[in-house]
Chains A and B, each alone.
Chain A
């Protein structure tokens, strides 16, 4: 299975900060990569798919980049509602696999 490794696992930041989360795949997944946001007690919500395509309705401060094995989720100007957990997921190879998550907390 393709192993997805996110870093950091936890990140402390303040509103207005620019934040980047990285995700590395143990083998190439082309651009078959999605990012999800999860808040406590809720299901994951897709933010980005195909590595860089923004889901409809998601604020433009979220962006994704990368292909192959290295990917990045960037939040350009952190808002209070962005403090949550974030997961990357590859869907280019079976079985589909997720990163372990990054918890974004308020500094």
Chain B
């Protein structure tokens, strides 16, 4: 059974880059069948899908984030990473990684516990 765990700094300064990792266990991060998604939750905007990566197919992003976001996979550490550039207070929220499957990459069957990020000077 796949398990996910997010980690990263809880505080980021405005205009800087938010960097988070999601450690995958119980399944292969390079699997053709798995899609690794990032999702954000905030009181203002609710749940927002940021984007995903599949090791074979590459990435796909929400247009709302596309100009600022990078998602990558590190096979040696079994981690998926999110980088969000030029952050503002509007990027404050809980960030989740979640797994989707081939055919329905946006159908999230496994979620990490989430990590809270605050953007503040």
Q: Which residues of A contact B (CB under 8 A)?
A: 32, 34, 36, 42-46, 49-50, 55, 87, 89, 91, 94-101
Q: Within the complex, which residue of B60, B104, B107, B113 is in contact with A94, where a contact is CB–CB below 8 Å?
A: B60
Contact call A46/B49, Cβ cutoff below 8 A:
no
Q: Within the complex, which residue of B63, B100, B113 is in contact with A95, where a contact is CB–CB below 8 Å?
A: B63
Q: Which residues of A lie under 8 Å from residue B63 when comparing CB positions?
A: 95
CA distance A50 to B64 in the complex (A): 26
Contact call A96/B49, Cβ cutoff below 8 A:
yes
Contact call A46/B47, Cβ cutoff below 8 A:
no
In the complex, whether B109 has a CB less than 8 A from a CB of chain A is yes
A45 to chain B, nearest CB (A): 7
Which bracket fits the contact residues of B?
20 to 34
Q: Can you list, as one digit per residue, whether each of B82-121 has a CB less than 8 Å from chain A (1) or not (0)?
A: 0000000000000010001000111111011110000000
A44-B111, A45-B111 given; A95·B62 CB < 8 A: yes
Contact call A100/B46, Cβ cutoff below 8 A:
yes
Q: Which residues of A lie under 8 Å from residue B114 when comparing CB positions?
A: 43
In the complex, whether B48 has a CB less than 8 A from a CB of chain A is yes
A32-B104, A91-B106 given; A97·B111 CB < 8 A: no
Q: Within the complex, which residue of A43, A55, A101 is in contact with B46, where a contact is CB–CB below 8 Å?
A: A101
Contact call B107/A97, Cβ cutoff below 8 A:
no
A95-B64, A96-B106 given; A43·B96 CB < 8 A: yes
A21 to chain B, nearest CB (A): 15
